[in-house]
């Protein structure tokens, strides 16, 4: 503790407590200080198995040596220049993303590099309005969706309880029931709607995939009404669902794709890809970012994508996801499993997901509750078979003990491990 720091505001090591930070996040029972692969370590040196990956961010695990070395090398070379000038790394990242969106052959689109998923979606929303022209400014999204926490992306997010404290929100957003094509057909008025923004699988909304063929039907609807199909692949993209992007399971091509979480394996970077004729709607000065695509973040993304391609992470997600799904299906208290690849949710028989995730954390496993009954699992894509069995054993023990001790919700447990 330093002489200028009151005892009540200092914890071990003289560091300020979280109370000096804005209270935008719930209290957490654990502070992690180190990560390696699928493992996290707290201040007491206790080891945890990370099956959340920082909300699907550390897709290659913590501190992957190739990414770490790329960051260190770039930090020794050039960290930042204004986007008034080019850098040699960002175009490589954009070219790789365009190739992967084209399923390996290139899609002929263009990429804006941002700092986050919210910024990527802001770019998509602005691009839709610019492309559609005056009078066509409405974006249609789904109830239960999550698209970010800036004012525009907050309104795009289909969760009215998140809207209430921040009224009035920017105009131009409509919401329809998830996976409801009839509702979408009624909402997409070609005279005012510029685009449809959807997650291929609802993430925070409970890891809910749509019915097979839904995205194909939405693609057809957007073509008929002259609206852009914009897919938020911020959580589902880059191998997480067993394809490079979740839309590739249906063989469609969207007009706009946004990405972020896994792109820098923990270094903040986002991206908005668009078909070239859509991207051309932007003129110099229409959009920008001080830090977006700067060399340090781009170097992390370039190394992350290289490792992902070499390891063939979509194939790993399919194999490991099948093992995890089968194991979850057999656990006590699990009513069903949904999702794709290594983005899964275990639906519980009773609404105790928050308590189960808290008990799992206490037992050394990091997962989180996305609804009262659903536990989300998104481990690193390089997770091993043994680590999956270890996670299943912990969850099985937690669920089994819960069934014996108490079938109803309990009060006073630690909060869920996070949202987004």
Residues annotated as catalytic (active site), given as ranges: 146, 232, 261
For residue 192, what is the enclosing H or E element?
none
Q: In sequence order, what are the residues at sequence separation of 6 or more whose Cβ sits closer than 8 angstroms to the Cβ of residue 58?
A: 35, 50, 262, 265, 266, 380
The H-assigned helical ranges of 133-228 are 151-156, 160-163, 181-187, 214-225
Pairing mode of beta strands 343-348, 365-366: unpaired
Q: Is the dihedral of CA 293, 297, 303, 305 positive or negative?
A: negative
Report DSSP letters for 74-86, one per residue: HHHH-----TTS-
> 215 exposed, middle or buried (CB, 10 Å; 0-12, 13-18, 19+)?
buried
Residue 185: other Cβ atoms inside 10 A: 14
Helix (H) and strand (E) counts in the chain:
13, 15
Q: Which strands make up the sheet holding 138-142, listed edge to edge?
A: 109-114, 270-275, 256-259, 228-232, 193-198, 138-142, 173-176
């Amino acid at each position: 503790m330093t002489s200028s720091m009151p005892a009540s505001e200092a914890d071990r090591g003289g560091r300020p407590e979280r109370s000096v930070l804005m209270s935008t996040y719930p209290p957490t029972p654990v502070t992690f200080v180190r990560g390696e692969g699928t493992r996290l370590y707290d201040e007491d040196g206790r080891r945890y198995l990370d099956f959340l990956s920082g909300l699907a961010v550390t897709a290659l695990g913590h501190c992957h040596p190739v990414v770490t070395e790329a960051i260190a090398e770039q930090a020794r070379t050039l960290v930042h220049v204004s986007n008034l000038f080019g850098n040699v790394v960002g175009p490589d990242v954009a070219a790789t993303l365009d190739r992967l969106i084209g399923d390996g052959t290139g899609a002929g689109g263009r990429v804006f590099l941002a700092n986050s998923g919210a910024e990527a979606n802001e770019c998509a929303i602005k691009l839709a309005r610019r492309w559609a022209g005056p009078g066509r400014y409405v974006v249609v999204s789904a109830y239960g969706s999550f698209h970010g926490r800036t004012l525009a992306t907050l309104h795009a997010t289909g969760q009215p309880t998140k809207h209430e404290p921040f009224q009035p929100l920017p105009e131009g957003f409509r919401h329809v029931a998830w996976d409801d094509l009839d509702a979408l057909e009624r909402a997409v008025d070609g005279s005012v709607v510029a685009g449809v923004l959807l997650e291929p699988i609802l993430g925070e909304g409970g890891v809910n995939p749509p019915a097979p063929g839904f995205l194909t039907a939405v693609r057809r609807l957007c073509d008929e009404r002259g609206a852009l199909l914009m897919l938020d692949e911020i959580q589902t993209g880059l191998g997480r669902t067993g394809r490079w992007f979740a839309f590739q399971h249906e063989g469609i091509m969207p007009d706009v794709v946004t990405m972020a979480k896994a792109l820098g394996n923990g270094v903040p970077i986002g991206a908005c890809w668009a078909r070239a004729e859509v991207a051309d709607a932007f003129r110099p000065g229409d959009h920008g970012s001080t830090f977006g695509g700067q060399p340090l973040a781009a170097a992390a993304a370039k190394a992350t994508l290289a490792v992902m391609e070499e390891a063939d992470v979509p194939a790993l997600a399919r194999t490991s996801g099948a093992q995890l799904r089968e194991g979850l299906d057999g656990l006590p208290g699990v009513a069903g499993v949904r999702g794709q690849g290594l983005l899964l949710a275990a639906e519980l028989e009773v609404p105790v997901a928050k308590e189960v995730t808290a008990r799992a954390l206490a037992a050394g496993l990091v997962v989180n509750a996305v609804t009262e009954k659903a536990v989300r699992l998104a481990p690193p894509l390089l997770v091993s078979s043994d680590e999956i069995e270890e996670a299943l054993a912990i969850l099985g023990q937690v669920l089994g003990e819960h069934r014996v001790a108490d079938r109803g919700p309990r009060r006073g447990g630690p909060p869920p491990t996070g949202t987004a």
